[in-house]
Structure 1
Amino acid sequence: MSQVLHTPPQPPAPADALDLAELAARHGLAVSGARPALPEYVRQLWARRHFITAFATAKLTAQYSQAKLGQVWQVMTPLLNAAVYYFIFGVLLGTKQGVPDYVPFLVTGVFVWTFTQSSIMAGTRAISGNLGLVRALHFPRAALPISFCLQQLQQLLFSMAALFVILLCFGVPVSASWLLVLPALLLQFGFNAGVSMLMARWGAQTPDIAQLMPFVLRTWMYVSGVMWSIAATLKNSHLPDWAMTALQCNPAAVYIDLMRFALIDSFHANQLPPHVWAVATGWSLLFGIGGFIYFWKAEETYGRG
């Protein structure tokens, strides 16, 4: 009796052997949280511009909602900082020597520096401090650091009213150069937003960076001429030319000096570094575009884990 051997039926091809990408595309499916192409990401971000503006305004309104003086602190905080710096640096250390209109010089530096400092600190916590929002809703994550930077710009604009009053009280006349404030702030906003996005990615990956940043920013403030004139203080120093140029061309000092040049008539063009507008534009484009692309590359990782 012959024994008939039957070939067992072959199992169906495993699922991973199928072209799943083609199948998903055929039915209009996409990977959840996948990073879109850069042009599409920009389009999505632009489509949510009203959300970015409203979110920034809401955060600004809520910032001092528990304080009795409310929004007055938006102006009082940088003014009190300026008063402390005036006493320590201007009076005790004598940095006001050789600096005409020292009070307007100092207050302008403090206000402009506060814009950069607050934008970077807010950007560092933009993702790690808003994980509930990031995990609950689908939107371009760059909207968060940009909105926090916009919030700080709005706060600076409130403070500028007090700055103009201070300038007038100390005899600084109104001039056409005050219009230069607008391009200077625009360039500074581009720089701040780029650094904020860079720090937002680092802060999302390593939350401890938020604890380190105050020390980094404090050091940066001291070398940026916020409370002292780089040109006046170091003109008789033995620093090499490259070090002097590096101090004058660091982005914080560039934007501070541009604002002083625009607002204070005793702050002359010879106190600015060479090609200052080109340098300011370069910093803004380098960090604005570079920080945006760097942040976008990690889009799908935010809120995971």
Structure 2
Amino acid sequence: MDMDFKGRVAIVTGAGGGLGRQHALALARRGAKVVVNDLGGARDGSGASVSAAEAVVNEIREAGGEALANGASVTDFAAVQAMVQQAMTAWGRVDILVNNAGILRDKSFAKMDLADFALVMNVHLMGAVHCTKAVWDIMVAQKHGRIVMTTSSSGLYGNFGQSNYGAAKMALVGLMQTLAIEGAKNNIRVNCLAPTAATRMTEGLMPEEVLRALQPEAVVPAMLVLASQDAPTRTILCAGAGSFEAANITLTTGVHLGTGEGVPELLASRLSEVTQRTGEMVPQSGSAQGSNEIALAMAQSGKQAVA
């Protein structure tokens, strides 16, 4: 796999600290020119300062790399478009987008203010949509693009107190699934990274010894693979503490029960068969569900015809 990023231009959002900073530094070390974007706010999204982004840019430049700082909020599409234009003016292309920016507003759903739910959705989901939309036509014209969405185990599997964050992170998986299909003909590969890392976002959420094991640097190899020339597409890569896994959204083989008055009771009585995971598949598009259902129905009607 080609892990050389010379001649490539990358935009990393939320790159003023934590995981984003490590992403930006790693891409720059391997030859990429990097736009280091960071609003510079607190982890709940309040405040703003470009100083964090500028500090990372200085690190990259001191190591001999090329980088630009940008303080746009990913929730502001006009500011995001200006950020992309900044990269185009300086370097003439954008090859890699790492959608890493995020905030937390954790509370149980019962106690959560809807404004906090909406804000987290806006930063994580619409922030990634804004950045991706701003680079999409450029990547289509180049016939090359690598987009990494940052999902989370909280979205994939749930986590108490993070209904807003989890909903946003799972929404990014759905976005990735469709964009990977739409981008395929133009060599735009879209993937998700599910990191487990000790950053400002996780302070106070884990014991100290666990935090020490979960250094952000350990997640970076997964990002580099997903952003590389030979990257996969439609892959959810999980990473933490030097370990790597892949998550999949699967479909069981299912059972045909037909239609009619008694089907709800029949489904309830045979639910364990429906949820049986032996032989499950990873659909290549949403149409696979319908295709499977029709195939089961046709097979059943064939059996009845023979009988």
TM > 0.5: no
Higher RCO structure (Cα 8 Å, ≥6 apart): 1
Q: Which has the higher strand share?
A: 2
User: Taking structure 1 as the reference length, what is the TM-score of the superposition?
Assistant: 0.28
